[in-house]
Amino acid sequence: MRPVPEVREPDEEAEERHGGSDPTFDSHGVFVRSIPAVLCGPGRNLLPYRPWRTGTVKTAITELFGIEHPIIQGGMHYVGFAELAAAVSNAGGLGIITGLTQKTPRDLAAEIARCRDMTDRPFGVNLTFLPTVTAPDYPGYVDAIIDGGVRIVETAGRNPQAWLPKLKDAGCVIIHKCTSVRHALKAQAIGCDAVSVDGFECGGHPGEDDIPNMILLPRAADELDIPFVASGGMADGRSLVAALAMGADGINMGTRFIATQEAPVHPNVKQAIVDASELDTRLVMRPLRNTERVLNNAAVERLLEKERTLGPDLTFDDIIEEVAGVYPRIMQEGDMDAGAWSCGMVAGLIHDIPTCRELVERIMKQAEDIIGGRLQQILSGTSGTS
């Protein structure tokens, strides 16, 4: 049976681990925990850091990655740069650099080094394996990850099995993104340490099964032995509590982290997410069985019209203008009608642009209030009483 996440007070956790008299208590009586060095790279002079003061949510994911809060910032094209990854990690979550946004392995090595200058906490790199005729220099990217001392890798796209031996031999922990239970079970079978289970609500590629997280997460919990996080529709403490209740060990957020102060994207992108509702995304490339959830705009409407007009005769070349090479124009220049860009239905729950620290702390505080407040009142029979 999968372990149940614990909600504990910091001093309770510290007493169990250190007998209550360890010098890693600070002057305020707050337990200070060091980060596992293997997750931060060789030769790092790691500083201890303070956990969330009001309580600790400890799950298999926080233990696996050596992070304070069960919140991951997933890889996102032209979003997952060092600035955002470091900000999320500094807030106690797990920040992730998007590997293929960097044009070469040398560029990725430089981006990893930049991130190291901004945080001494664990962060990861996303490596997406694409079904392309001319594949990226995957051996070079894998070497850049390993040589850069990164020990957490988020894989996505095609089966990563061919690359696992080298990553595992280097001590890397692998979390693979999956859109179905069968794919999650395959990831488990080939040796992935955890999976991100992406429901139909998610931005980007939700797969072709169209199963939302209210069904997908409990199904994953029924089948998997390895830890997993919920992805798609995650935005706040309610999302976290719901994910934990359905068997997940944490949450992965993409769209929500784009709308933060530290996300290195054009302000137009952040404002478009804040202005959008849950009704403003569209599914494109369904006829090509490469479905992507994107925010609606003029380019997306043109793309959908081509799909309707061409029907089964549609080819990628017919829509290349709307989907190929558009991310720099959107994310960096703020041209919101340049093409299709990934965005989740969760936009309907995003109403501000906080810092990553404000966002993570707010999520954890809201989660604690729900667990220790409303749910406890329901259990005790005092809900609704004065």
C-alpha to C-alpha distance for 358 and 353, rounded to whole angstroms: 10
C-alpha to C-alpha distance for 98 and 219, rounded to whole angstroms: 29
Residue 132 is predicted with a pLDDT of 72
C-alpha to C-alpha distance for 57 and 26, rounded to whole angstroms: 20
Task: Characterize the bridge pairing of strands 281-284 and 292-295.
Answer: antiparallel
Residue 46 is predicted with a pLDDT of 34
Contacts of 181 (CB under 8 A, 6+ apart): 216, 219, 220, 223, 224
C-alpha to C-alpha distance for 172 and 7, rounded to whole angstroms: 28
Asked if 358 and 352 count as a contact pair (C-beta separation under 8 A), the reply is no
The full 3-state SS of 95-148, as one line of letters, equals: EEEEHHHCCCHHHHHHHHHHHHHHCCCCEEEEEEECCCCCCCCHHHHHHHHHHC
Q: Which amino acid is at 357?
A: R
Q: Which helix (H) or strand (E) holds 205?
A: none
C-alpha to C-alpha distance for 194 and 251, rounded to whole angstroms: 12
Residue 44 is predicted with a pLDDT of 36
Instruction: Give CA angle at 89 (87, 91), nearest 5°.
Output: 70
**Residue 154: strand pairing partners:** 126, 175
Q: Which fold has domain 53-264?
A: TIM Barrel (3.20.20)
Q: Which amino acid is at 51?
A: P
Tokens 């094209």 correspond to: 77
Residue 341 is predicted with a pLDDT of 97
Q: Which amino acid is at 209?
A: D
Sequential pLDDT tens for the chain (386 residues): 566 666 555 444 434 433 333 333 333 333 333 444 444 444 333 333 333 344 578 999 999 999 999 999 999 999 999 999 999 999 999 999 999 999 999 999 999 999 999 999 999 999 999 877 688 999 999 999 999 999 999 999 999 999 999 999 999 999 999 999 999 999 999 999 999 999 999 999 999 999 999 999 999 999 999 999 999 999 999 999 999 999 999 999 999 999 999 999 999 999 999 999 999 999 999 999 999 999 999 999 999 999 999 999 999 999 999 999 999 999 999 999 999 999 999 999 999 999 999 999 999 999 999 999 999 999 988 876 54
Contacts of 114 (CB under 8 A, 6+ apart): 82
- Number of CB atoms found within 10 A of residue 158's CB: 12
pTM summary value: 0.86
Q: How do residues 83-129 score in pLDDT, each as one tens digit?
A: 999 999 999 999 999 999 999 999 999 999 999 999 999 999 999 99
